[in-house]
Structure formats: structure tokens, C-alpha cells
Structure 1
Amino acid sequence: MMLDDILASLFPAGHDVQNADGVVLGSGALRAGGRALVVGIADRTPLGVDDAIRLAAHVLQSITTGNGPILIVVDSDSQRMSKRDELLGLNEFLAHLGKCLIHADRHGRPTIGLLYGHSAAGAFLATALATRVLVGLPGATPAVMDLPSMSKVTKLSVEVLEEKAKSTPVFAPGLANLAQTGAVHAIWDAAVPLVDQLEALLQAIPDSDDRRDLLGKKRGGRSKAYEIAERVRGLALQMR
């Protein structure tokens, strides 16, 4: 689905969302009343320092000017691979954006990521994965790290990683694999009005505690993460 079609299906009562050179800002009228802030990245735009700080400022401002959910729509490239962005501290800007989304979520503005296109690497972490809950539309192509890049980091061949990906979703890009690991809460049905699915999610949105590890265990995508996290948590509580 194209962004215009997605917004029309999400907000049949109207919206004022604008796409300015790949940066999405605006709001939409919710069926149950009130408005949702809408921010994000479109047109497979790489996320650089200028875009990240602009989005972060918009999110922070919304904490005092509204009380509805924040919808982050995502169709990005990876982070912007430029010398300027790296010298300015791109990693810090991306971290700042992610922390602003978490901060807003914990101060009354629940965050929902909607992955409808591509996203990868730092841009994926700072937007879609920084939300309380992430949903995807069929055809979305997320990748925390593509296999050639993963091969360089792990020193394993692409062939070995492809074989591992058949049985271990954490090695594999793609929407279905990320759903199995618990990173993607649900895959929406493009044939059903998105407003219906959004309203259903808002009525049953999980609390702000991140339980993606438990969801990944239940779905068979991450068998150990939940137990390890709980053990670390228990040890930390014992030392307080």
C-alpha cells in the first residue's frame, strides 16, 4: 500500500499529514475521538541527523500539546551513510530520537509503529523498534541487518547464515521472521480497513513494559531471551 492509501484507510474522518522530502509529520482524527500524532519516514529515505532531530523535536513537543497515541509510519532506508552525518554524531541523534519516543510513551502518549515499506539498521532501531508496539503491513521488508553485513560482522559466510536463517529467525530478515521473534506484534490485513485494526489495537494495546522477549518465546522465535532477561532482572533486584 502507498502512504496516501494507508492514511486514508487509517483516518477516514480526515488527517493533515504531510510528506516533506521523506519526513512525515501531522495528525489524524481517531474514530473514538481525539487525534493521533503521525510522524515517520517515507519513500525509503535514509534517516540522517537533520531528519532525526526534527522528528524528535516534534515528538517532545507533543507531550505537552496532546494526549493521543503517536503513530510512527516507516518506509526508510538505513541511517544516512554520509561523512557529514557521521562527523556530527549520527549515532547520538538516532539514539536521541529513540529515547524521545520512549519518553513520550511513558508520559501518556502510547507509541505505535507501522512498518509499511522497507527499513534497516539504525533507522529501524530508532523508529519502528523504539515504539511500544510495532505492526506491519504485508509486503514490508524490514531487516535489522542484511545477511552480507551480518557476514562481515560474524565472519560467517552468507551461505552459512542462510542455512541458519531457515531454523533461527534472528538470522533472517523479513516481516514474518521479525514477527516470530516478537519484534513485530502483529501483521495487519491489508484487505480490512486499517481504521478497524488501529482501533482494536488501541483498545488492547500492551502496557509499557517491553514483553517482546516473552512474545518471541511463545512464537518459537527466541527460546532463551525471556529466561535470560528474567534471570538478570532477578539478580539485579537482589542487589538493590
Structure 2
Amino acid sequence: MKNSFVELSGRDRAIALLDEGTERELVGPFDDMISPHLEPQGIVPESDDGVILMKGQLEHKNVLVISIESAFQGGGIGEVSGAKIVAALEQVLKDNQNGKTIYPIIILDTGGVRLQEANYGLLSISEIQNAVVAVKKYVPVIGLIPGRVGSFGGMSITSAILSYLIATKKARIGLNGPEVIEQEAGVREFDSSDKDLIWDTLGTKQRSATNIVDEVVEDSVEVMRDAVNQAISKKKDAKRTEDADFYLSLLDQLDMSKPLNTVDYRELYKNVKTVTHPITEAVATTEEKPKSRGRLWFEKLTGIKNAETNVSTVLQATVDGKAYVAIVPDPKNRFPRVREGEAGLQEGFAIANAVNKIIKDDVDKEVKRPIILVVDVPSQAYGYKEELIGIHVALASSAAAYAKARQSGHPVISFIPGDAVSGGFLAHGLQSNRLIALDDDSITIQAMSKASAARITQRTIAELEEATKHVPAMAYDIDNYEKLGALYQLVKGVSSWDANDQSVAKVKKIIDEAIDSAKNDANDLRFRYNTKIAKESGRVATIKMRQAVADQWSD
């Protein structure tokens, strides 16, 4: 197609958006900043790791274009590519803070986490989201979704945090790809062979009708340039992650016992009457609650037995000047896909409301309440209705709220006594400036279940497990996760189910030390790059990329 934007490569898309002759690439192919994690798996790396950074001008306005190349590893985000995006956004932030206006544009053509670097991908995506939240205080962050792959996985959560989304009719957006939902929940939940169903559910016609995409444009370089220029000039911002009350009101009106198709959902969406949905403080009850590691430690840390709020799967309470938040199971929940403690629609939006209230209540206080996340999330919810409604928006809402809280001066500490998996961990855990985990073999930290990861990467589970021996980021256990350098502390001698008085006292002491550490440090996520393990091995490639972007940034 003549002047097609979709058909261009990632690099050519970036150049096409810029005024002729103004483009300057940063950390390009000749810098040879490749991922160190692919060759040990027999995968040929790419010299730019699939992300293009291009500074220049658009209609005489200074811009940075970040373009993700879907032709390499499906646009998946790994350590190097993620660090490249984060470092560039942080330079954009610094320039705007210093009065030099520059607008970031992100071209999303990505399946989310690069599964061959799994936990590095999750860390990087959370760091991208943090940077976007920070930059949005100064300028809009414009997202483009041209087509080919679309925007999936953790990067769909990122897309919902961006200020304004422009897409063509060839784009799709969703948290969980249909193949993953089919693997996790069965073909009756989402048939990945039904292409019409996929496009009807995740395509831009449906997404624009329900405000997940802000503008749909013709596949033309000129039209795309004009749409981006207008979005920048008018400082367009959909504030998508600030609609929790709207979505919670919508969920109130949703009958989960009946099928839901795209037409019925659009009708429901148009007729929502928004009411406020505060989440109550947890109170003690006499009724025995479903057991989970998250619930156990929330109750032990707060002293609230059989804790309960008005949202059965979310616990939150302020005790001794600290706000605690946890996601817990509810086997009778009307949303079947969250009955085992997964992060779903209601969980994301309810947590966003709870955290945003904490920010509002403490806005004039010199000392902000620490927020303690008790993390035990086996995954995000895998369901058709969740995808149709936009589970990625729900998880973006909680992630953005935690990021805003931390950037506002609230120490945000994650304590991990249970699983921390995929979008659930992005929504509830990875925006913390300190991560504390128990050294327990039962804890899983990963981007996807083994069965789904094997299916998506076209490997057997045995081949997947063999790869984890060479790349710690692909492993599922907490000891390998420690090798990445992101943890503040791995707590020895305390198991996930061993919440006796001595263990609780030990964990409380470590949480208090983490709070003091966070108070005396920056309100961002750079601690993860500065630990001894990170500097020596865990984030060496990240640190190298951050320096390269900084060195090449100035004109």
C-alpha cells in the first residue's frame, strides 16, 4: 500500500514521523548493544534488541520516537530493550524538568514480555510504566498501535497508562492472547482458532467503541503524522486509569451468569451510571475465610483476624501508620477467573480506588503513609469477559496508582510470601521501591505458566526447563529471582505458611528497615540497579544501556 505506515519497519516508522532531516538515532545497530540472554538459548540476537530510539522534530516540536520492532521476537521486551526505553523516557523527564520541552511517542507492536528473558521483561515493563507516569506530569505520552502484532501482555497495561492511543484498523489490544487463555482456561473460554471472534473482541472497532483506543486513523504516514501532531499540540489525555468508579459501576450491572458478546457489551458500556465505589477498611469477623499465604500474612501483619472488606478479594487497612493491601481468594466469587486469588477486573479497579484515596488523604502531610503490598497473586484472570471489558485497563489502574503514590512520597514496599506471576505482579507488586521475599521453594515468580510459555515459544516444557539453567530470568523459583538483583532482601528461615510470632516480628522489622531505606532514597525504581547483585551481575546490561543512552542524549 502506498505510504502505508503499518508496512514500514520499526526504524522506518520512527523516521516517517519526523520532519525530514531532523532524525538522530540513539544507541543504534552499530553500537551493538545486544541481549546477553539469547545466544545461550541458541537464539540469534539483534544489534538494536528490537527497539529504535529516534530524536528529532515533528512540525518543529522536539520529540523522541520509541519504536518497537515486531519482526524481532514478536516485539517482546527483554532486559536490554526495556532498559533502552526506560533510559530514554528518563532523559525525556529530565529535559522537561529542566524546562526543555520534548514529547515522547511510543510505537507499540509487541507481544509484551519476551518470554526468553521472562522476569527481566516484567521488571523492565514495570520500570517503563513508572517512567510514563512520571513524564505525564509534564507532557502527554502518545502511543501508536499500527498493526501486525498489536499490543499485548504487560505492554497492553502500559498502553492503558499512556496519555492517548492512536491505532489503525489493523491493530489489536489485549492482556492475554487467545492462545494463552485457551491454554489456561480451555477452548470453551476463548477459541484461539476463531479469527473472527478474536478481531471482534480485540480489534480497534470494538476497542474504539469502548474507549480503549482514543482515535482510529487510516493506514497512511501523512494521516498518522497529523494525528500525532494534533495529540501533542492539544495535549490530549484520556486519563484512562482514572475511571475506576465507572468500571466498578459497570461491573455491578454485569450478569456473569450470562454470555456477553461485543454488541451487548457496547450497549452496557454506553448506559453505565457511575457511582462512587470506596473500598472499606478491613474488619475482623468470626467467619473462617479461605486460606492463602497472602491472607495469612495480611492478617498477621495487621492483627485483623478473618479480615473482610466490601470487596471479597481485596483486603486493605491502615494499622500503626502503615497501609496494607492484599489480593486474596474467594471460591464463591461471581467472577470465576479470580476465585484462586488472581488479579482481575474488580481487584485492579478497587485497589486503584484504595491507593488513590491514600494519596488524597495524605496530600498535605509532610510524612506520607507507607504502603505495604502483601503479594500472593498466581496470575491475572484468564477470561473472555475480562479481555472484552479490558482487564489490562484494570491492572494499569492499580499499577499507576501505586506508581503515583511512590512518586508522591509514599514508601511502597512489597512483601512476597506467595506467588508473584505475570500481570498480577505488574498490577500488585512491581511498582514498589523495595521488594522483600521469603526464601521458600513454594514461591513462584514468573511471567507465564510453564505450559503457556512452552506453547508460545514453541518449546517443550523439558526444553523450557533446560533453558532456565542458562538464564536465571527464565526460572520460576525465588533463588534464581534473587540473581537479578531486584530484591531488597530475601528472608531466610521463614517459610510462607510459618507466620508464628517470631517470624512475624522478623518480617515486621525488615519491612520497617525497608521503609527507612526508601524514605532516604529517590521516589523511583533505581534501587533495583544499585544493589550489589545488580551491579555485579543481575543488571549489568541494564546499567550499560542506561549509560549509553545518557552519553548519546545531548544534541
TM-score normalised by L of structure 2: 0.39
Structure 1 residue aligned with 2:383: 82
Instruction: Using the TM superposition, give the Cα deviation of residue 58 of structure 1 relative to its aligned residue in structure 2, in angstroms.
Output: 0.6
Distance 1:180 1:72, change over 3 A: same
What CA distance in whole angstroms lies between the structure 1 residues aligned with 2:417 and 2:486? 15
Structure 2 residue aligned with 1:24: 315
Structure 2 residue aligned with 1:54: 350
What CA distance in whole angstroms lies between the structure 2 residues aligned with 1:117 and 1:146? 15
1:33-73 C-alpha deviation (Å, 9 max, x unpaired)? xx111112124411111111000011011012132100111
Q: Rg larger in 1 or in 2?
A: 2
Instruction: Using the TM superposition, give the Cα deviation of residue 199 of structure 1 relative to its aligned residue in structure 2, in angstroms.
Output: 1.6
From 338, 341, 361, the equivalent of 1:45 is 341
From 141, 159, 164, the equivalent of 2:467 is 164
Structure 1 residue aligned with 2:120: none
- Name the aligned partner's letter for residue 487 of structure 2: V
Stretch deviating more after TM superposition (99-108 or 17-26) = 17-26
Structure 2: gaps of 5 or more residues = 1-291, 330-339, 363-367, 495-502
- Name the aligned partner's letter for residue 80 of structure 1: A
1:189-235 C-alpha deviation (Å, 9 max, x unpaired)? 43462221122222222432323244453353344122123323443
1:84-103 alignment runs, 5 A limit? 84-103=385-404
What is the aligned-residue identity percentage? 23
Instruction: Using the TM superposition, give the Cα deviation of residue 105 of structure 1 relative to its aligned residue in structure 2, in angstroms.
Output: 0.4
Distance 1:219 1:156, change over 3 A: farther
1:171-199 C-alpha deviation (Å, 9 max, x unpaired)? 11121222211233211243462221122
Residue aligned with 2:328, SS: strand
How many aligned positions are there? 231
What CA distance in whole angstroms lies between the structure 2 residues aligned with 1:129 and 1:120? 10
The Cα RMSD (Å) is 2.5
Would you tell me which structure has more strand in proportion to its own residues? Answer: 1
1:107-165 C-alpha deviation (Å, 9 max, x unpaired)? 12111111111231110111111211111123332222233322233334433332221
From 354, 369, 394, the equivalent of 1:68 is 369
Structure 1 residue aligned with 2:273: none
What CA distance in whole angstroms lies between the structure 1 residues aligned with 2:294 and 2:346? 22
Structure 1: gaps of 5 or more residues = 30-34
What CA distance in whole angstroms lies between the structure 1 residues aligned with 2:369 and 2:386? 32
Q: 4+ residue stretches of structure 1 with deviation over 4 A?
A: 1-5, 14-17
Structure 2 residue aligned with 1:153: 456
Q: Is the 8 A contact 1:10 1:198 kept in 2?
A: no
1:195-206 alignment runs, 5 A limit? 195-205=508-518, 206=521
What CA distance in whole angstroms lies between the structure 2 residues aligned with 1:120 and 1:68? 26
